[in-house]
Amino acid sequence: MITMMEKFSCRAKDLFEILMDEKRWKGFTQSNARISKEVGGEFSIFNGSVTGTNVELQEGKLIFQKWRFGSWPDDVQSTVQIAFQSHSSLST
């Protein structure tokens, strides 16, 4: 398991929306994305290089997904959990 902690100068809700909205994702990464905002829904990011499924979504609090890189064997995937913690109204 790999654990990372990062601090962002924005509200947790805004960061959640950036990661779950196709247009915002494209604006920040300059890559195409198809992103379902539904549990069980599928996504494709970084011009299709990464695909996966939403396992659990809690707006502004949690994104839990199964990811698969296109170069990986068909039966290999990883789990990615992004938990948001607000430190102030302008920091996540």
Task: Tell me the domain boundaries of the chain.
Answer: 12-83
Q: Which residues make beta-bridge pairs with 43?
A: 35, 52
Tell me the C-alpha distance between 70 and 67, whole Å. Answer: 10
CA distances 47 to 12, 26, 39, 57, 68, Å, are: 25, 9, 22, 22, 13
Whether domain 12-83 has CATH 1.10.10.10: the reply is no
Eight-class DSSP state of 2: -
Return phi, psi of residue 73, to 5°. -60, 155
| pLDDT tens digits, 83-92 | 998 877 666 6
**Considering only CA atoms, which of 42, 7, 40, 3 is closest in space to residue 22?**
42
Render pLDDT for 19-77 as a digit per residue (tens, 0 to 9).
999 999 999 899 999 999 999 999 999 999 999 999 999 999 999 999 999 999 999 99
Tell me the whole-structure pTM to 2 decimals.
Answer: 0.87
